Structure 1
Amino acid sequence: MFALVDCNNFYASCERVFNPNLQNKPVAILSNNDGCVISMSDEAKKLELPFGAPIFKWEQFCKDNNITVLSSNYPLYGDMSARVMNILGDFSPDIEVYSIDESFLQLKGFENYDLKEYATQIRTRISKWTGIPTCVGIAPTKALSKVANKIARSNLKQSKGICVIDSDENRIKALKWTKIGKVWGIGRRLQKRLQAKGIETAYDFTQVSSDWVLKNFSIVEWRLQKDLQGISKIPLEEVSSKKMIATTRSFEYTYSDIDNIKERISTFATSCAEKLRNQKSSCHLLIVQLSSDRHKKDIQQHKASKTVCFSYPTDSTLTIANAAVEAVKTIFKSGIKYKRAGVIVAGLVPNDNYQLNLFLHENPKHKPLMSAIDNLNKKYKSDKIKLANQDLKRTWKMRQERLSPRFTTNINEIIKVT
């Protein structure tokens, strides 16, 4: 059996944990640079505030309906997510963290357990220890556990946040209730192709021939169909090293001077280097991207990238940041207002197994230096040690005019009781 544990309206719920005044009130969370709505509470959904709504167009609507609008507080959300996932690890050793707010648990050897009671224990502990509300769907396969979770979420009062599909009768009933477009892994294009064949529900999808699915689609859709039929074909995914690491961000404002852009690129490159060392990898390639604001058609547009090949694999912040800054100098154009940049490291190899170069190699002083920097930053839970060409006050320069305090990750912003 598989369990899917999903946090309800996660970003909004995190804000409510530390600000009880937001309970039972409409809350909306904005994307980077306070751009558009990416999360909201059930109360805001009932007011029909659309997902992806640009806040500058919906500002008056939010004021008229008393919707509290907040900037994304990623340090808080990341920390709360880690706490929830740590709790889930106590309920099963086989866990797949699917996203920041949901995880799959594989329940091996639970044949004699009361699964509904077990799901209740999961929800109760997470709520008690973190204050985050959750829903739990349990079924014989991952795809069915997704269906069960949606059913639990659709009617919280009746389901109490729990749905268990433990019989073929319950499976068929659940699949007939689920529209094909709501099935995990069915995108808009695939939905249209299936509907053209008369497939309107998840149950309809399970009734067509498996050979037809393989002939017209791919092994991915075939596995999904089998999962929905109750035959487990989608296993838990193991954590593996990434084959490419990217750090891309929109700027707080448009920049037309090279100095600000060099500082941003250096910061992005530093982030990539840290991620490389975390997974004990080094890179052979570096790609630097720079682009203007494509949404502003009245200004001159420019988009370019530069690829740098290293003579030896590296995970050094100094090497990667210097190469990134030199690369952005070659693609920068004077007079262009740039809005977005990115740094990508590719050609990754493990640090303990790669081809050496007879004549060129990393400066031997870099390894102990990077280790010391990482240990200090880890100890103090922030980027205290930076390169001289980085902004010492901020890591990500984003417009966050409605930002709540980082209650759990910054000692200066914890709740004060007076």
Structure 2
Amino acid sequence: MIGLCDCNSFYASSEQLFRPDLRTKGVLVLSNNDGVVVALNAKAKELGFKRGDLYHKIIDEAKKKDCTFFSSNYALYANLSTRVINCLNENSEEVIPYSIDEAFFVPMKNQDCVELRNLVSSQTGLPVSVGLARTKTLAKIANHIGKKMIDGACVIKQEDEEEILRKTAIEEVWGIGYKTAEKLRRKGITTALSFAMQDEGWIKSNFNITVLKTARELKGIPCIEEGETDKSFCSGISFKAPITNFDELYTALCAQAQVLSLKLEQKNLVSSTFVISIFNSRFQEGFYAPFEVINFEEQTNYLPKIIKAVYIALKKIYVPNKYKGCRIFAINLYPKGTFQYSLFQSESDIASMDKRDKLTSVVQEISKKYGRTSIVPATMLGVDKTNLCKRELKSPAYTTSFDELPTVN
């Protein structure tokens, strides 16, 4: 059996954790630059708000309904996410983090998932739901059901799978995107059960391998391994004010590269190809959005190597302009440790690569413990990704800064 622990309305719940006065009120969390709603709690949904709502269009209505807005506080969310993972690590056989608010886990023998759910909630203060089933895809469905249960947990037994899949719409299945669901519906396949019953040869000829593995998972056959769903990573930002000079733009790209490097190390992945992109406002005349591809002979997630290459790449595409944002992508991902050394590489080259791997791991541990900006390249001194964007409604760093610890009067 495999379990999935999911934090309910994670961003909004994290904000409510240190604001008990908001426990019964609507809470909405905004994107970078406070542009749109990216997360909201159940109360805000009941009041008619939804993800993607533009902040400036709903602010008056939200205030009338006594809702509270927050800018995204990623340091807080990351710290609380780590606490959830640590609790799962202590109370299960194995934990496989999936996203900032979700983690798969292997339960202990005869473990009660309701007790586990209550334990995680009590130790972290966050509402979570737990689903348990034979595969990750089925565990996703179990977790979705658990969110609606009073005890916040659901176990799908093998004998109950058929009935549950019959009640699950095809678009609610993990791994089935909007276009795939639309294509399946046109062929009369509307439920998870009807999809799972399809001939594998037909699925192979009409869809990709991911869809085939999803069908197998619905039959109770584990097919999705750790990291398999990671095809690429991206870190990007829209600036609160246009950036006009090269040095500031390079510093901004370094901040994104740092996020990407840490993300790759966390997933135990490396990349052979990175892409940088810069752009001005698409609403202004003369929209300019060049990109440059960076190829490495050796797959890497070593930040100093990446930012050195970013500098060279940016030199090729930069022209004076009013830039609104930048992005960096990592594609062609590989599990760390699978690189095959060249016959022409010396022992000193190999030793140097090993040292870089160890250094990256140490930086990852320091960043997890003390925050992302606790150790940075010299090009980023005094600069954090979040400083580059507008966040006027950000809550304090309750868990990562002594100066902002919550106080009790």
TM-score strictly above 0.5: yes
Q: Which runs of 5+ in 1 are unaligned?
A: none
1:324 aligns with 2:289: no
Displacement after TM superposition at 1:307 (Å): 3.8
* Residue of 217, 233, 240 corresponding to 2:222: 233
2:396 maps to 405
Give the match's secondary structure for 2:52: coil
SS of residue paired to 2:373: coil
CA distance 1:182–1:386, change in 2 (3 Å): closer
Q: Is the 8 A contact 1:312 1:361 kept in 2?
A: no
Check if 1:124 corresponds to 2:118: yes
8 Å CA contact 1:136–1:162 kept in 2: the answer is yes
Q: Which moves more between the two structures, 202-211 or 306-315?
A: 306-315
Does the 8 A contact of 2:227 with 2:267 survive in 1? no
Amino acid at match of 1:233: P
The residue type equivalent to 2:45 in the other structure is K
The question of whether the paired residues in 1 share the 8 Å contact of 2:29 and 2:37 is answered with yes
Does the CA contact (< 8 Å) of 1:312 and 1:357 recur in 2?
no
Which range is displaced more, 214-223 or 306-315? 306-315
Distance (Å, rounded) in 2 between the aligned partners of 1:153 and 1:277: 31
Q: In the TM superposition, what is the alpha-carbon distance from 1:250 to its structure 2 partner?
A: 2.1
Paired with 1:239 and 1:15, the residues of 2 have a C-alpha distance of 29
Q: Which has the larger radius of gyration?
A: 1
Q: Which residue of 2 aligns with 1:251?
A: 239
Q: In the TM superposition, what is the alpha-carbon distance from 1:175 to its structure 2 partner? A: 1.8
Checking the alignment, whether the CA contact within 8 Å between 2:276 and 2:291 is kept in structure 1 is yes
Amino acid at match of 1:340: G
* Equivalent in the alignment of 2:286: 300
Residues of 2 paired with 1:66 and 1:301: CA distance?
40
Q: Which residue type is aligned with residue 323 of structure 2?
A: Y
Question: For the Cα contact (< 8 Å) 2:272–2:298, is it kept in 1?
Answer: yes
Q: Is the 8 A contact 2:255 2:384 kept in 1?
A: no
1:338 counterpart letter in structure 2: Y
Contact 1:206 1:228 in 2 (8 A): yes
Q: Give the deviation of 1:228 after TM superposition.
A: 2.2
CA distance in 2, matches of 1:277, 1:341: 22
Residues 282 and 10 of structure 1, relative CA distance in 2, 3 Å threshold? closer
**Among the aligned pairs, what percent are the same residue?**
30
Cα distance in structure 1, aligned partners of 2:231 and 2:210: 21
Structure 2 Cα separation of the partners of residues 144 and 278 of structure 1? 25
State the number of aligned residues. 400
Q: Quote the Cα distance in structure 2 between the aligned partners of 1:87 and 1:107.
A: 13
TM norm structure 1: 0.81
Match in the other structure for 1:178: 168
Shift in alpha-carbon separation, 1:410–1:190, aligned structure 2, 3 A = same
Structure 1 residues 306 and 142, CA gap change in structure 2 (3 angstroms) = closer
Contact persistence 1:293–1:338 (CA under 8 A): yes
SS in 2 for 1:89: helix
In 1, distance between residues paired with 2:184 and 2:299? Answer: 46
Alignment check: 8 A CA contact 2:131 2:140 kept: yes
How far residue 131 of structure 1 moved from its aligned partner, in angstroms, is 0.6
1:2 equivalent in alignment to 2:2: yes
Give, in whole Å, the separation in 1 of the partners of 2:297 and 2:161: 56
Match of 2:33 in 1: 33
Q: What displacement does 1:243 show?
A: 8.6
Q: Does 2:287 correspond to 1:267?
A: no
Instruction: Map Cα deviations across residues 293-339 of structure 1 (whole Å, 9 max, x no partner).
Output: 22x2x3321111234567888876555434423432332222x3211
Query: 9-18 vs 314-323, which deviates more?
Result: 314-323
* Structure 1 residues 351 and 162: alpha-carbon distance in aligned structure 2, compared to 1, 3 A threshold: closer
Q: Partner residue of 2:79?
A: 79
Mean CA deviation greater in 310-319 or 11-20? 310-319
Tell me the SS of whatever aligns to 2:90.
coil
Shift of 1:120: 1.6
Structure 1 counterpart of 2:396, one-letter code? P
After TM superposition, give the deviation of residue 178 of structure 1 in Å. Answer: 1.5
Mapped pair 1:416 → 2:385: no
Change (3 A) 1:63 1:380: closer
Aligned to 1:394: 384
* Contact 2:30 2:39 (8 Å CA) reproduced: yes
Partner SS for 1:303 = coil
2:75–2:371 Cα contact (<8 Å) kept: no
Structure 2 residue 58 is matched with structure 1 residue 70: no
2:145 aligned partner: 151
Is the Cα contact below 8 Å between 1:386 and 1:392 reproduced in 2?
A: no
CA distance in 2, matches of 1:50, 1:379: 34
- C-alpha distance in 2 between matches for 1:175 and 1:182: 10
Alignment deviations for residues 152-209 of structure 1 (CA, whole Å, 9 cap, x no partner): 213x33xx212222252x3233222211111111111111111112222222223433
CA distance in 1, matches of 2:300, 2:153: 48
How far apart, CA to CA, are the structure 2 residues paired with 1:176 and 1:280? 37
SS in 2 for 1:193: helix
Residue from 255, 258, 276 that aligns with 1:288? 276
In 1, the alpha carbon distance for the partners of 2:116 and 2:273 equals 44
State the match for 2:157 in structure 1. Answer: 166
Shift of 1:92: 2.4
Once the 2 structures are TM-superposed, how far is the Cα of residue 127 of structure 1 from its aligned partner?
A: 1.4
Distance apart, 1:125 and its partner CA:
0.9
CA–CA separation in structure 1 for the residues paired with 2:339 and 2:266:
14
